[in-house]
Structure 1
């Protein structure tokens, strides 16, 4: 090997190591792949959505990229708790129970639940669920909300689903009378699935945020970037792109906040 050849080989090896190091530094992000407009895996295999734009912007401001991996909803919590991923996006609600084993960034959206029904259904309120067969996604906030109020609501049967698509297919086919889920996601889905509508909206005050491993060393930096995005208008622009309207003044979407220590 000549001296010149050795130099070239050394440079190529250095470049290879540098590229590998950069790839390792990419943010590892877990996401439920069928949750539009929050996140959705396209036919091309890439992710798009409201939270996808947010996490990509966070990665950019960290000087890296986001590597998003699709997972079942239940698997997201295991992946975060074990440190397999750096953060999780999937319209996740901050709860005190989740804060025991996970960390969350500041919220950027105030959620509400929707009751999905077939066109012509007489279910127009929570009271209308009495005696009905109701479904939701396993381990989700809507599922917990329903189970905590089983006696109060008086529904006849509850069915738990691994995927939103299976739940809505059962709703369309009459296997359940109502599906309770994030109202934004339901309305978006119903633009694609004819014959279904939102019978009622339930204001819960839930706060959507990114979930991260407990006490992650990236938590404070990610939270500061979210504050900066709210201050400089980036978050509002992303919101308007995906929701079709500007966020309300003083909403979670435009108000910088500290890392939450409780769901209150």
Structure 2
């Protein structure tokens, strides 16, 4: 009887241990996302997320044998969420910068971004040279905000307004409370296609690299980066790009070229 009990206990322990491993392997990826950033990511009326980067993280999760559990966060809160390890990764057309790399990790980039100057139709602003003496706005803690602040003396704008949401910024632009909104050009064009009276005055090439941000030194970083390389190689990334941006990615672009985990923004 003693032997039987011991064998029963041992088998039960092994079985329970096996279940533990299976449960851990299937644990959903916790993903933070700014919920109003189409076509990159957007929370629908049904409460689900859709968009270019949403498709990417869902595919990553699928290839890891699990699912992505996406939560909507304010843009500034995304950085707190990764720094505190509350999420496994965040998406929101995030630019790799050397400053961010000091406290965060990034996967390889999959899109080269550009900025756009959003204005009201009929505005006398047609380029960055026309921002002198104007009121400009962008999203708090974003790359466009940093870009504007670094060039304050050069651009000579009269006032800068910082926003927590894109919708509030574009509302102020439409109502004349700011003269120009500087943001990701793809996002601006997507929004303006569904709004009236607003247009992109100029597209500014900046060399931005959009990627997934993860906690510093994440144990999932290398695996996720390899999956992104595989998605680029097998055509999945290109298909997602064309689905959401309406054109095929350029040959040799970040979208189709596998890269290592970045150690700098260069």
Q: TM-score range by the shorter chain?
A: over 0.9
In structure 2, the residue matched to 1:5 is: none
2:34 and 2:238 map into 1 onto residues whose CA distance is 23
1:205 aligns with 2:202: no
Contact 1:22/1:64 (8 A) holds in 2: no
Secondary structure of the corresponding residue to residue 66 of structure 2: coil
Q: What per-residue deviation string (whole Å, max 9, x for no partner) do you get for residues 193-241 of structure 1?
A: 1110001111000000000000100000000000000000000000000
1:51 aligns with 2:16: no
Which structure 2 residue ranges, 5 or more long, are not aligned?
1-11
TM-score (ref. length: structure 2)? 0.91
TM-score (ref. length: structure 1)? 0.92
In structure 1, the residue matched to 2:121 is: 119
In structure 2, the residue matched to 1:214 is: 216
User: Would you identify which runs of 4 or more consecutive aligned residues in structure 1 move more than 2 Å?
Assistant: 20-24
Task: For residue 24 of structure 1, report the CA deviation from its aligned partner.
Answer: 7.1
2:26 and 2:47 map into 1 onto residues whose CA distance is 21
The 5-angstrom pairing of residues 1-264 of structure 1 reads 21=23, 25-264=27-266
Contact 1:103/1:211 (8 A) holds in 2: yes
1:81 and 1:232 map into 2 onto residues whose CA distance is 32
In structure 1, the residue matched to 2:3 is: none
1:124 and 1:100 map into 2 onto residues whose CA distance is 36
RMSD: 1.6
1:218 and 1:193 map into 2 onto residues whose CA distance is 40
Secondary structure of the corresponding residue to residue 204 of structure 2: strand
Contact 1:26/1:67 (8 A) holds in 2: yes
Task: For residue 21 of structure 1, report the CA deviation from its aligned partner.
Answer: 3.2
Which structure 1 residue ranges, 5 or more long, are not aligned?
1-9
2:40 and 2:120 map into 1 onto residues whose CA distance is 23
Number of aligned residue pairs: 250
Q: 1:72 to 1:24 in 2, by over 3 A?
A: farther
